[in-house]
Chains A and B, each alone.
Chain A
Amino acid sequence: MKRSIPFLIIAIVLVVALGVMWKMSSSSRQSNGPQPVAMPSPGSLPSGATPAHVRGNANAPVTLEEFADFQCPSCGAYYAELKKMEADFGDKLRVIYRENPLYPNHQYSIIAAQAAEAAGLQGEDKFWAMHDKLFENQSTWAEAKDKDAAVAMFVEYAKQVGLNPDQFMRELNGEAVAARIFQDGKRSHAMGVQSTPSFFVNGKEATGESWKPEGLRKMINDALNAQ
């Protein structure tokens, strides 16, 4: 009997370890099968910055709300996937972008969010142009030697997307920009966003397998089929 005790302990730890792994990743199972599509009730959550940054058909049946950080590598990697999804789903999908800078993990995340929001003050299309620029050049500006060098790059991007650089610089550290990031942050906190990028399809969070591009596509399709 005594000889079997260590093997019993090992077996118990193995079962517990596998159980913990299963529990931690169990949220991925939510993606298997049709999902009830839940819309956030307007009164229960902070609205985030208004008007929100929306790309796509304003009356699309499915809304994909993204909480992202311009300096987060996963967000940068996902950027191209989202572009493909937007093209594939066309008028059926609208995308909302929410600022969720993970500062100080990403040292230029806030100033990058400010750059995008300052661009947005010169037009919604300018926000998205800067949004694309920031993600497409993430590996360049993320390596800037300091904040001033990063800002210099952002000013260059601002010129490239047709912004007024003086106005851009004036508004970069302005209250309007700060307020928008703060409002998105309040919504992010209320919705329990823990990491970036986080996605919500018609208000339902994409977790586990659903977070991955194929899973997210399936979630969008399920939401479309539920209409």
Chain B
Amino acid sequence: MISTPKSTAFSWTYLIAALVSLIGLGDAIYLTVQHITGASLRCTIISGCSEVLSSPYAQVGPVPLAALGAAAYFVVFSLAILAAFTYPLVKLLLKILLCLMFLTTLWLLYLQAFVIHHFCQYCLLSAAVTTALTLIVFLSSLRKKTV
């Protein structure tokens, strides 16, 4: 159960995190739709989209990995918005989720670099978004502790 806001204060840091997560959400939705329709994507910046997105790592069981990513970004967005309105507890949940996402990102980067030997620009965008979110949330916490 989400508890009520502590005060009327507003956290711009978490609002920025929420906005950044929307980039990841859009990217993941695009990849999910492409996965469902099954077309071989045209990479516009680097090559390797087809190889990565048609690899067995692109889905977890019957579920496209991109769909899980979209769900994760939506939860991050929701938690960040609640955190922006200073709902307690959600910040901890957000940090736990971001840790999991960041570790998953590192694993996916490893797969692209050393197993599939190709990179997909949409996956790299997602990796950048997750990294940015992790930095925003954790650096903001560190800064508050040192103040």
List the interface of chain A (C-beta within 8 A of B).
Answer: 2-3, 5-6, 9-10, 13-14, 17, 20-21, 24-25, 28, 69, 72-75, 77, 102, 104-107, 194-198, 207-208, 211-212
Contact = CB atoms under 8 A, between A and B. Distances in A.
B134 interface: no
A165 B62 CA distance: 45
Given A5-B85, A6-B87, A17-B29, A74 B77 contact: no
A106 B49 CA distance: 10
A67 to B, nearest CB: 11
B65 interface: no
A6 B81 contact: yes
Contacts of A102: 40, 42, 50
A197 B42 CA distance: 11
Contact of B40 (A9, A24, A25, A197): A197
Contact of B22 (A13, A28, A69, A198): A13
Interface of B: 4-5, 8, 22, 25-26, 29-30, 32-33, 36-43, 47-51, 54, 70, 74, 77-78, 81-82, 84-85, 87
Contacts of B74: 13-14, 17
A73 B50 contact: yes
Nearest to B47: A105
21 contacts: A2-B8, A5-B85, A6-B85, A13-B22, A13-B77, A14-B74, A17-B25, A20-B26, A20-B29, A72-B40, A73-B40, A74-B39, A77-B54, A104-B47, A105-B42, A105-B50, A194-B39, A195-B42, A198-B39, A211-B37, A211-B39
A77 B5 CA distance: 53
Contacts, number: 82
Contact of A73 (B26, B51, B70): B51
A218 to B, nearest CB: 15
A73 B39 CA distance: 10
A21 B50 contact: no
Given A24-B30, A73-B50, A74-B40, 20 more contacts: A2-B85, A6-B85, A10-B78, A10-B81, A13-B22, A21-B29, A21-B32, A25-B33, A25-B37, A72-B50, A73-B40, A74-B38, A74-B54, A77-B54, A104-B47, A106-B47, A107-B47, A194-B39, A195-B40, A211-B37
Contacts of B85: 2-3, 5-6
B133 to A, nearest CB: 16
A179 B55 CA distance: 33
Contacts of A5: 85
Contacts of A6: 81-82, 84-85, 87
A5 to B, nearest CB: 7
A207 B50 contact: no
B38 A212 contact: yes
A196 B40 contact: yes
B18 to A, nearest CB: 8
A13 B74 CA distance: 8
Which of A73, A75, A212 has the most B CB atoms < 10 Å from its CB? A73
B132 to A, nearest CB: 18
A24 B33 contact: yes
A141 to B, nearest CB: 14
B42 A194 contact: yes
